[in-house]
Amino acid sequence: MKIKKKLWELKQLAGQPDILEMYLYGNVESDGYDYWSDEKVSSETSANHFRDELAKYPDIKQIKVFINSYGGDVFEGTAIYSQLKRHAAEVIVQIDGFACSIASLIAMAGDQVIMPANTMMMIHNAWMGIFGNAKELRKAADDLDAIMEGNMEAYLLKADGKITKDKLMELLDGETWLTAKQCLEYGFADQVLTKETDMTEAQALLQKVNLSLEAKVSYNKAIAAQLRDMTETKEAIDDPKVIEAIEDIEAIKEDPKENNLKKLFLSLSKIK
């Protein structure tokens, strides 16, 4: 049996046997099969692997989940969310960078969701690749609608009345990037930390997501909102690197070309 490269880990804290830490850094993937080698491929970000690992710690009282992921398989992510929700332990989620797509749904399992001020979520409707006859294609569309009904309930449950279903559908339809401040407003987060996390790998992560230009511009507008929040303090106003990044974003809104996007990422990478 082959095992895909490790992208997460579960570990008990030394001296704190009641606390389990889970790091989800990377794509959520299902188990598969390598037809070239005739071997099963076990994914360490699959729901099966998570279930088996979690079973090794039956007396855990608290699970800390640290997320920096651009998403992955909706079925695997939904199953991981369900496992966390029904677990007896308190679940504390911290976003260490991005919680995109199905990773944002996994975050909704947190009894507490904590986000440093410069971290983000991205939410959108589920999609799949499909081929077949007309009947099969119609069924696929119906299946996606059913999946999204379940996923929306997860967001609404966490939000606890802070967002309407209509507004949530609008955000999902728009493939929306959400700042930590917006997540707090909509109820997807419970606490925003003033201390920021290192976001210098943002460009590499976005390249992996393979976003369209339109989605990149949407992301940049969300980053702009973060930077404007930063300028509320005297220190941020006096920081020429922050001012330069804001000016780059304003330029993109007027002329959203690839060269401007590259310039923006270069500016963002300078902000520490």
User: What tokens were used for 184?
Assistant: 């707090």
Query: Between these two residues, 213 and 52, which has the higher pLDDT value?
Result: 52
CATH code of the region 2-197: 3.90.226.10
Which tens digit of pLDDT belongs to each residue from 85-97?
A: 999 999 999 999 8
Phi-psi region of 127 (alpha: psi -120 to 50; beta: other; left: phi over 0): beta
Those residues whose C-beta lies under 8 Å from the C-beta of residue 212, and which sit 6 or more positions away, are: none
Domain chopping of the chain, boundaries: 2-197, 200-272
User: What tokens were used for 193?
Assistant: 């930390």
CA distance 134 to 38: 33
Query: Between these two residues, 183 and 206, which has the higher pLDDT value?
Result: 183
Binned at pLDDT 50, 70 and 90, residue 126 comes out as confident
Contacts of 212-220 with C-beta under 8 Å, sequence gap 24+, read 213/256, 213/258, 213/261, 215/175, 216/256, 216/261, 217/252, 217/253, 217/256, 218/174, 218/175, 218/176, 218/177, 219/120, 219/122, 219/177, 220/249, 220/252, 220/261, 220/264
CA distance 244 to 121: 24
Residue 138 has pLDDT above 70, yes or no: yes
Least confident among 32-36, 77-81, 90-94, 145-149: 32-36
Dihedral of CA atoms 134, 170, 156, 95 in degrees, nearest 10, equals 100
- Is residue 241 classed as helix, strand or coil in its secondary structure? helix
Question: What is the pLDDT at residue 24?
Answer: 86
Binned at pLDDT 50, 70 and 90, residue 211 comes out as very low
Q: Which residue has the tokens 């780059």?
A: 248
